[in-house]
Amino acid sequence: DTEVTQTPKHLVMGMTNKKSLKCEQHMGHRAMYWYKQKAKKPPELMFVYSYEKLSINESVPSRFSPECPNSSLLNLHLHALQPEDSALYLCASSRTGDNEKLFFGSGTQLSVL
Amino acid sequence: GESVGLHLPTLSVQEGDNSIINCAYSNSASDYFIWYKQESGKGPQFIIDIRSNMDKRQGQRVTVLLNKTVKHLSLQIAATQPGDSAVYFCAENQKGAQKLVFGQGTRLTINP
């Protein structure tokens, strides 16, 4: 199994809603990542979990809250988002937290109304 | 500062021809590089990687070349097929750094 699975694939939410994005991998990888990608732009790193501990927060606003319940799961909790937060949110994993051979999921396309 | 840039934002080639996608980087501390392919509606897909102690690495129909002297990375795709149409990103990992830095991407279009 070489997949990173993300749900949902599409999400539309209002600025007062609370929602969560989910990511799962069963490759035994110990590092998991959240990236944000705007249209026609490269992915931008948001968070890194290494061995289930948050190791990097790229100065992401607190309306985005990551959670890593175990080594296979990664969540991103969303609250009080702004329309400019609309983007493709990508989850990735790698064997260790050394940024080598990241495997990406297909992403969640988020629209904030 | 660090940057990973691409010489061409778009590239169109005929089916069956070879494609070369270029990438420039400015940080000599980078010691690992990756090429990703991203199709519409999908996440980036790992293609090939190379470490700074190598100057060439081959995969299936793809070759990555690294020229550390001029800080240049390229991806060669042989005998391009319609399924090769996508945006291609290079990414670099600086030794001791904590994140990959992605280039801006090149859109490759294969003409029949």
CA distance A42 to chain B (A): 6
Interface with chain A: mutation pick from B3, B6, B46, B47, highest number of A CBs within 10 Å: B46
* Closest to A89 (Cα-Cα) out of A73, A110, A66, A62: A110
For residue A100, list chain B residues with Cβ-Cβ distance below 8 A.
32, 34, 49, 93
| CATH 2.40.10.10 for domain A4-112 | no
pLDDT, tens only, A43-82: 999 999 999 999 999 999 999 999 999 999 999 999 999 9
CATH annotation of B4-111 = 2.60.40.10
d(CA B83, CA B86): 8
For residue B46, list chain A residues with Cβ-Cβ distance below 8 A.
101-104
Strands (DSSP E) found in A38-107? 44-50, 53-57, 64-70, 73-79, 87-94, 103-104
Q: Are B98 and A101 inside 8 Å of each other by CB? A: no
What are the residue ranges spanned by the domains of chain A? 4-112
| Partners of residue A112 on adjacent β-strands | A13
Q: Are B98 and A56 inside 8 Å of each other by CB? A: yes
Q: Per-block average pLDDT, block size 10, for chain B (112 residues)?
A: 52 95 88 94 94 95 96 96 96 80 93 90
